[in-house]
Structure 1
Amino acid sequence: MDIEQKSIITEEFKDITNNDMHIIDAIGIGEPQNMSAIARKLSVTMGTLTTSMNQLVKKGYVVRNRSEKDRRVVYIRLTERGERAYQHHARFHHEMVEAAISGLNPEEMTTVAQLLLRLKEFFLSYKD
């Protein structure tokens, strides 16, 4: 996490944290996401997400819009600045994966894929 923090928090994005970057990643590019969907993706409470979202709004990375159908529902979308941060974070992860798998032969790639699937299953089944 420390290495990721140092790599993705550049001069342009020095006003946000690694945690903020993961919230931006959970929002994604495209259709606006509602707050509860983002909270579920991140496994955080609505209160925790709201606190972080307030800061991201102030810093110009996201905007909030209320649903026209149900005013209780708040949709979040990235601003242009938020989309740049999203792309920057995605590039870091792409480069990390490329560095990890470069030079592997097909058999090694299969082994890595199996390992990652097992790790995913562990995380999905893990209970506190």
Structure 2
Amino acid sequence: MDKENQLKLSIRDLYKKIAWINKKMEKSLAGYTSSEVHCIEYIERTADPNVTKLAEFFYMTRGAISKMTKKLIKKGVIESYQKLENKKEVYFRLTEKGKEVYRIHEALHQEFEERDKKVFEQMTEEQYEAISYFVEMYSSHLDEEIKKQGKSIKE
């Protein structure tokens, strides 16, 4: 097997292992999809989050975000609001229930970071730079391929 295919297989294998070992998060946040939890996280960390900001961040359509935020409102974890000076735009914020989901998610992230710390502490600056360069280069390449197909990842 050539280097390129070996690297691709290694990346897929790494992704599968991370997903498997992080099943604890799924159990702790049962009833919420990964997208919903990350939407909750984004809403908590972003000033004046709205459908447009969420769609851009998650590379999803505004329609898909509207659907997800309606589900989150129904679950009681977010609520919508409008500003006095702008009655047209709808924004989102977490409810107390949403803040609890956010806290659980953050605690699990901290636990995972602590678990994986020993690997990242061993990496040199050059290794970080090489990996970062590869990820950015590959991501840009995929962006160009998406454009060639006349699409946007946000569609």
The TM-score bracket by the shorter chain reads 0.7 to 0.9
1:121 and 2:136 are equivalent in the alignment = yes
Pair 1:48 & 2:32 matched: no
Structure holding more helix per residue: 2
- Name 2:118's counterpart in structure 1: 102
1:24 counterpart residue number: 40
> What aligned pairs does 1:18-97 form with structure 2 within 5 A after superposition?
18-29=34-45, 31-97=47-113
* Larger radius of gyration between Structure 1 and Structure 2: 2
Deviation of 1:33 (Å): 1.3
Shift of 1:80: 1.3
Q: CA deviation at 1:103?
A: 6.2
Which consecutive residues of structure 1, in runs of 5 or more, have no partner in the other structure?
Answer: none
Counterpart of 1:113 in structure 2: which amino acid? Y
| TM-score where L is the length of structure 2 | 0.66
- The one-character-per-residue Cα deviations of 1:61-107 (angstroms, maximum 9, x if unpaired) are 1000123222221110111111121122222223223222226656x
RMSD: 2.7
Which stretches in structure 2 are left out of the alignment for 5+ residues?
A: 1-17, 147-155
Shift of 1:119: 5.1
1:8 aligns with 2:25: yes
Equivalences, count: 126
Counterpart residue identity of residue 121, structure 1? E
